[in-house]
Every structure is written in C-alpha cells, then in structure tokens.
Amino acid sequence: MPRFRFELDVLLRLRLREERDQQLVVAELERARVSTERTIESIQRSILDAKNDLRDRLIGAIPDARTLRFQAASTLTLQAHAQDHAIRLAGVYKRLESAREALVQAAARRRAVELLREQRYEAWLRDERRRETAEIDDITGSRFASRAEV
C-alpha cells in the first residue's frame, strides 16, 4: 500500500523546533523568576532576623551607638538589595509574559500545519479507498466478463 507523504513535513518540523525553542526560553525565564523570588524571600528573612535581633538587644542592656548604627546600616543594605532584586523580578515578569505570548503563537502556527497535515491525510485516505474500490470493481468486472465468455 502506498505511504502518505506530507509535502510540508519540513515546515512542520521547523514549527515544532520553533515551539520547543520558545518553551526553553520560557523555562529559562521561569527559572530566573523562581531564583529571584527565592533571593528576595531570603533577603526579607534576613531583614526580619536583623530587626528581631535589634529588638532583642534593645530590650536588655543599653547597646552602644556604634552597634546600633552597624545594625541599621546592615538592614538598609539588605533592603536596597531586596529593592534591586524586586526591580529585576519585574523585568523577568515582563520578559516572561512576552515569551509566553510568543510560545502561544508558535504553538498556534505549529497546530495550523498539523491541522493541514490531518486534512491532507484524510483526503489522501479517501482517494486511496476510492482507488482500491475502483480496482476491486475492475477485478470483479473482469472475472464476471471472463466467466460470461466461457
């Protein structure tokens, strides 16, 4: 039996590769998002720990000003780092949104070619069945004609 050959198979493979590449971009941005969020959470925990430590120190004996300044500077530095990472996170979210949109478009382009392939396959299958039926009819007609001659 003849085999179905889709003339746009190269295009379909290209669309699949484009979609896979876009999936990798989205995955990489997701990793960056998760990493940045974890970093921010870690910094926030450090800030909270520093504030709790400072509160505990203030409850007991009177600390020297130098220690308080050092503690405050450390907390401010951590807050600045958290803000930097928050800005980075906003950028990652923006790039992630565009990458996801591009992924949806790539999937739609791939699916369009797949639908065309399915339509062409169904048409090819109908033609093959029609040919087989015609061949069977010819064979049957030939047998009938040869029997009628005898």
Q: What is the DSSP letter of 60?
A: S
Highest average pLDDT, of 6-15, 47-56, 62-71, 132-141, comes from: 6-15
Using DSSP's 3-state secondary structure scheme, residue 61 falls into: coil
- Please say if the pLDDT value at position 96 is more than 90: yes
pLDDT single digits (tens) 42-89: 999 999 998 888 787 777 667 677 877 888 888 899 999 999 999 999
Question: What's the rounded Cα separation, in Å, for the pair 65 and 24?
Answer: 52
pLDDT band at 150 (very low <50, low <70, confident <90, very high): low
* Encoded tokens for 131: 């040919």
pLDDT in the model for residue 88 = 96
pLDDT band at 148 (very low <50, low <70, confident <90, very high): low
> What's the angle, vertex CA 115, arms to CA 113 and CA 117, rounded to 5?
70
The answer to whether 50 and 78 are in contact (CB under 8 A) is: yes
